[in-house]
Protein backbone atom coordinates (compact mmCIF):
# COMPACT_ATOMS: atom_id res chain seq x y z
CA UNK A 1 0.00 0.00 0.00
CA UNK A 2 2.83 2.36 0.92
CA UNK A 3 4.69 1.48 -2.26
CA UNK A 4 1.64 2.21 -4.41
CA UNK A 5 1.00 5.55 -2.71
CA UNK A 6 4.68 6.41 -2.94
CA UNK A 7 4.79 5.63 -6.64
CA UNK A 8 1.64 7.67 -7.27
CA UNK A 9 3.00 10.74 -5.45
CA UNK A 10 6.54 10.53 -6.83
CA UNK A 11 7.56 13.22 -9.31
CA UNK A 12 9.55 12.28 -12.41
CA UNK A 13 12.52 14.15 -10.93
CA UNK A 14 12.33 12.47 -7.51
CA UNK A 15 14.67 9.72 -6.38
CA UNK A 16 13.71 6.70 -4.27
CA UNK A 17 16.01 5.38 -1.55
CA UNK A 18 16.31 1.61 -1.27
CA UNK A 19 18.05 1.71 2.08
CA UNK A 20 17.74 -0.30 5.26
CA UNK A 21 13.99 -0.35 5.81
CA UNK A 22 13.02 -2.68 2.98
CA UNK A 23 12.09 -5.76 5.05
CA UNK A 24 9.05 -5.41 7.29
CA UNK A 25 10.20 -8.05 9.79
CA UNK A 26 13.42 -6.19 10.65
CA UNK A 27 12.58 -2.56 9.86
CA UNK A 28 11.13 -1.83 13.32
CA UNK A 29 14.22 -3.10 15.11
CA UNK A 30 16.52 -1.22 12.74
CA UNK A 31 14.53 1.97 13.24
CA UNK A 32 14.76 1.68 17.04
CA UNK A 33 18.49 0.90 16.93
CA UNK A 34 19.36 3.74 14.55
CA UNK A 35 17.16 6.17 16.50
CA UNK A 36 18.94 5.26 19.74
CA UNK A 37 22.39 5.70 18.16
CA UNK A 38 21.30 8.98 16.53
CA UNK A 39 19.94 10.46 19.76
CA UNK A 40 22.95 9.24 21.75
CA UNK A 41 25.31 10.89 19.29
CA UNK A 42 23.40 14.17 19.36
CA UNK A 43 23.16 14.14 23.15
CA UNK A 44 26.82 13.27 23.78
CA UNK A 45 28.13 15.86 21.33
CA UNK A 46 25.67 18.45 22.64
CA UNK A 47 26.78 17.82 26.23
CA UNK A 48 30.42 18.13 25.20
CA UNK A 49 29.79 21.49 23.50
CA UNK A 50 27.81 22.71 26.53
CA UNK A 51 30.52 21.70 29.01
CA UNK A 52 33.32 23.22 26.95
CA UNK A 53 31.55 26.56 26.67
CA UNK A 54 30.36 26.73 30.30
CA UNK A 55 33.37 25.37 32.21
CA UNK A 56 36.12 28.00 32.37
CA UNK A 57 38.74 25.28 32.91
CA UNK A 58 38.00 24.02 29.40
CA UNK A 59 38.43 27.40 27.71
CA UNK A 60 41.61 26.34 25.94
CA UNK A 61 42.40 26.17 22.20
CA UNK A 62 42.27 22.37 22.14
CA UNK A 63 38.79 22.15 23.64
CA UNK A 64 37.58 25.06 21.52
CA UNK A 65 38.56 23.14 18.39
CA UNK A 66 37.07 19.91 19.78
CA UNK A 67 33.75 21.68 20.31
CA UNK A 68 33.67 22.48 16.60
CA UNK A 69 34.45 18.85 15.76
CA UNK A 70 31.42 17.89 17.85
CA UNK A 71 29.31 20.50 16.08
CA UNK A 72 30.29 19.14 12.67
CA UNK A 73 29.51 15.60 13.85
CA UNK A 74 26.02 16.70 14.93
CA UNK A 75 25.37 18.42 11.61
CA UNK A 76 26.75 15.48 9.62
CA UNK A 77 24.63 12.81 11.28
CA UNK A 78 21.55 15.06 11.14
CA UNK A 79 22.01 15.55 7.39
CA UNK A 80 21.77 11.81 6.72
CA UNK A 81 20.01 10.00 9.56
CA UNK A 82 17.20 12.48 10.27
CA UNK A 83 15.91 12.18 6.69
CA UNK A 84 16.05 8.40 6.93
CA UNK A 85 14.08 8.28 10.20
CA UNK A 86 11.45 10.80 9.08
CA UNK A 87 10.89 8.87 5.86
CA UNK A 88 10.32 5.67 7.82
CA UNK A 89 7.77 7.33 10.12
CA UNK A 90 5.93 8.91 7.18
CA UNK A 91 6.01 5.71 5.14
CA UNK A 92 7.92 7.20 2.21
CA UNK A 93 11.37 6.85 0.69
CA UNK A 94 11.45 9.61 -1.90
CA UNK A 95 13.69 12.66 -2.10
CA UNK A 96 13.36 15.52 -4.56
CA UNK A 97 16.15 16.48 -6.94
CA UNK A 98 16.76 19.74 -5.03
CA UNK A 99 16.84 17.97 -1.65
CA UNK A 100 19.15 15.30 -3.08
CA UNK A 101 21.51 18.01 -4.33
CA UNK A 102 21.44 19.79 -0.96
CA UNK A 103 22.10 16.57 0.95
CA UNK A 104 24.99 15.71 -1.33
CA UNK A 105 26.51 19.18 -0.94
CA UNK A 106 26.17 19.17 2.86
CA UNK A 107 27.62 15.67 3.09
CA UNK A 108 30.72 16.63 1.09
CA UNK A 109 31.14 19.95 2.90
CA UNK A 110 30.83 18.52 6.40
CA UNK A 111 33.09 15.53 5.75
CA UNK A 112 35.69 17.76 4.12
CA UNK A 113 35.51 20.34 6.91
CA UNK A 114 36.03 17.66 9.56
CA UNK A 115 39.00 16.12 7.74
CA UNK A 116 40.66 19.52 7.33
CA UNK A 117 39.92 20.49 10.94
CA UNK A 118 41.39 17.25 12.32
CA UNK A 119 44.47 17.81 10.17
CA UNK A 120 44.91 21.43 11.24
CA UNK A 121 44.47 20.42 14.88
CA UNK A 122 47.86 18.78 14.51
CA UNK A 123 49.24 22.31 14.89
CA UNK A 124 47.71 22.38 18.38
CA UNK A 125 49.51 19.17 19.31
CA UNK A 126 52.78 20.40 17.79
CA UNK A 127 52.71 23.67 19.73
CA UNK A 128 51.69 21.94 22.98
CA UNK A 129 54.62 19.51 22.71
CA UNK A 130 57.35 21.67 21.18
CA UNK A 131 56.47 25.14 22.50
CA UNK A 132 54.45 24.63 25.71
CA UNK A 133 55.44 27.99 27.22
CA UNK A 134 54.19 29.86 24.15
CA UNK A 135 51.10 27.72 23.67
CA UNK A 136 48.49 30.42 24.37
CA UNK A 137 50.43 32.95 22.30
CA UNK A 138 50.87 30.78 19.21
CA UNK A 139 47.32 29.45 19.47
CA UNK A 140 45.47 32.66 20.20
CA UNK A 141 41.71 33.00 19.78
CA UNK A 142 42.31 34.61 16.39
CA UNK A 143 44.44 31.67 15.22
CA UNK A 144 41.78 29.19 16.38
CA UNK A 145 39.10 31.00 14.38
CA UNK A 146 41.42 31.01 11.36
CA UNK A 147 41.77 27.22 11.69
CA UNK A 148 37.97 26.89 11.82
CA UNK A 149 37.52 29.21 8.83
CA UNK A 150 40.11 27.37 6.71
CA UNK A 151 38.48 24.02 7.55
CA UNK A 152 35.03 25.21 6.51
CA UNK A 153 36.44 26.85 3.39
CA UNK A 154 38.17 23.61 2.36
CA UNK A 155 35.03 21.56 2.96
CA UNK A 156 32.80 24.05 1.14
CA UNK A 157 35.20 24.17 -1.79
CA UNK A 158 34.95 20.40 -2.11
CA UNK A 159 31.15 20.59 -2.02
CA UNK A 160 30.94 23.45 -4.52
CA UNK A 161 33.31 21.73 -6.95
CA UNK A 162 31.87 18.21 -6.94
CA UNK A 163 28.14 18.71 -6.35
CA UNK A 164 27.35 20.70 -9.55
CA UNK A 165 29.19 18.13 -11.67
CA UNK A 166 27.43 15.20 -10.01
CA UNK A 167 23.93 16.59 -10.56
CA UNK A 168 24.69 17.89 -14.07
CA UNK A 169 24.45 14.39 -15.58
CA UNK A 170 21.20 13.27 -17.19
CA UNK A 171 19.45 10.46 -15.33
CA UNK A 172 17.52 7.86 -17.25
CA UNK A 173 15.67 4.68 -16.44
CA UNK A 174 15.33 3.79 -12.78
CA UNK A 175 15.32 6.51 -10.13
CA UNK A 176 16.01 4.05 -7.33
CA UNK A 177 19.13 4.81 -5.30
CA UNK A 178 20.52 1.65 -3.72
CA UNK A 179 21.88 3.49 -0.72
CA UNK A 180 20.90 5.29 2.50
CA UNK A 181 21.48 8.83 1.23
CA UNK A 182 22.55 10.86 -1.80
CA UNK A 183 26.16 9.74 -2.00
CA UNK A 184 27.87 10.43 -5.32
CA UNK A 185 28.61 6.84 -6.47
CA UNK A 186 25.02 5.75 -5.80
CA UNK A 187 23.59 8.75 -7.68
CA UNK A 188 26.06 8.45 -10.56
CA UNK A 189 25.05 4.82 -11.11
CA UNK A 190 21.73 6.19 -12.46
CA UNK A 191 23.37 8.52 -15.00
CA UNK A 192 22.92 7.91 -18.71
CA UNK A 193 26.43 9.10 -19.65
CA UNK A 194 29.77 7.46 -18.95
CA UNK A 195 30.93 8.76 -15.56
CA UNK A 196 34.10 6.66 -15.23
CA UNK A 197 36.52 9.57 -15.71
CA UNK A 198 34.68 11.84 -13.28
CA UNK A 199 34.44 9.06 -10.69
CA UNK A 200 38.18 8.46 -10.95
CA UNK A 201 38.89 12.18 -10.44
CA UNK A 202 36.45 12.24 -7.52
CA UNK A 203 38.11 9.26 -5.85
CA UNK A 204 41.54 10.86 -6.28
CA UNK A 205 40.24 14.02 -4.59
CA UNK A 206 38.80 11.96 -1.74
CA UNK A 207 42.07 10.09 -1.25
CA UNK A 208 43.99 13.37 -1.18
CA UNK A 209 41.54 14.78 1.37
CA UNK A 210 42.31 11.78 3.56
CA UNK A 211 46.05 11.60 2.99
CA UNK A 212 46.87 15.29 3.42
CA UNK A 213 45.34 15.68 6.93
CA UNK A 214 46.67 12.24 7.92
CA UNK A 215 50.17 13.21 6.76
CA UNK A 216 50.00 16.48 8.69
CA UNK A 217 48.97 14.62 11.86
CA UNK A 218 51.79 12.08 11.46
CA UNK A 219 54.30 14.87 10.81
CA UNK A 220 53.22 16.71 13.97
CA UNK A 221 54.28 13.68 16.04
CA UNK A 222 57.60 13.23 14.22
7 contacts: CB under 8 Å, gap ≥ 6: none
Question: What's the CATH number of domain 13-216, 1.10.1060.10, 3.30.70.920, 1.20.1070.10, 1.10.510.10?
Answer: 1.20.1070.10
pLDDT at 24: 66
How many whole angstroms separate alpha carbon 35 and alpha carbon 211? 32
Q: What is the pTM of this model?
A: 0.82
pLDDT at 109: 93
Order of strands, edge to edge, in the sheet holding 176-177?
Answer: 94-95, 15-17, 176-177
Predicted confidence (pLDDT) per residue in 91-136, tens digit: 777 888 888 889 889 989 999 999 899 888 888 888 888 888 888 8
| Residue 9 pLDDT exceeds 70 | no
| Residue 213 pLDDT exceeds 90 | no
Amino acid sequence: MVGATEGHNTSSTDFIFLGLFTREETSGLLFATISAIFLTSLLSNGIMIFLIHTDSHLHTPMYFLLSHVSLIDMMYISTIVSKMLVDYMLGQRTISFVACTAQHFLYLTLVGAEFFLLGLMAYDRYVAICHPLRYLVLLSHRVCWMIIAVSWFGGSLDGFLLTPITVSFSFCGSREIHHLFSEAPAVLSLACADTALYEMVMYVCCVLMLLIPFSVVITSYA
